[in-house]
Amino acid sequence: MSQRANKVALLIGSDSDWAVMETCYRQLREFDLQVDVQVLSAHRSPDDLRKYVQLAEGSGIGVFITGAGMSAALPGVVSAHTTLPVIGVPLESGILGGLDALLSMVQMPPGVPVGTVAIGSAGAKNAAILAARILALSDPALKSKLERFAETQTQSVHEKGKKVKAKISKQ
């Protein structure tokens, strides 16, 4: 029998992707999620990638987050080898500023979905929150953490509003 699917596989195409994807890792850990980080490339280590994805479900992975730049085949290839949800984070790498990776991830053919988020660190953070929301469907404690996260975020907007009003009142 396979384990409960409550872990996140965080895959990056190269170590050069980690500087941005560390944001994703930190956000996942803030939700106390178990994260398996792997450098696996669709183009440079295709056999290793396929083997990892095929074994992942049996090892308790519930969702994949994949960050890659340039032609960014990583999330599409992962999605081709699994029925688990796959989130793609397009990364800036090279002269096209991440637009290349964005289009590669978002333009998947019908039948092989990749949920694509924004380019760079905003996308990396949202990928973590989206993965947590997916896992929270079967984890009430994680859902409570997401609710607290949203409340804290709302509170920070209130504080920003107060700061702007204070600046205006001094003018």
Residues that bind ligand RP5 (CB under 6 A): 13-14, 16-17, 41, 68-70, 91, 93
Nearer to ligand RP5, 101 or 129 (CB): 101
Nearest-angstrom CA–CA distance, 17 and 156? 29
Residue 5 CB neighbours (<10 A):
17
Closest contact distance (angstroms) between CB of 155 and ligand RP5 is 35
Closest contact distance (angstroms) between CB of 66 and ligand RP5 is 9
Closest contact distance (angstroms) between CB of 46 and ligand RP5 is 12
DSSP state of 10: E
Nearer to ligand RP5, 50 or 133 (CB): 50
Nearer to ligand RP5, 13 or 115 (CB): 13
Nearer to ligand RP5, 17 or 139 (CB): 17
Nearer to ligand RP5, 120 or 139 (CB): 120
Closest contact distance (angstroms) between CB of 70 and ligand RP5 is 4
Alpha helices in the chain (DSSP H): 18-30, 46-56, 74-80, 99-106, 121-136, 140-169
Residue 22 CB neighbours (<10 A):
15
DSSP, collapsed to helix, strand or coil, labels residue 17 as: helix
Q: Residue 13's closest CA among 127, 101, 81, 111?
A: 101
CB 63 within 8 A of CB 84: yes
Closest contact distance (angstroms) between CB of 90 and ligand RP5 is 9
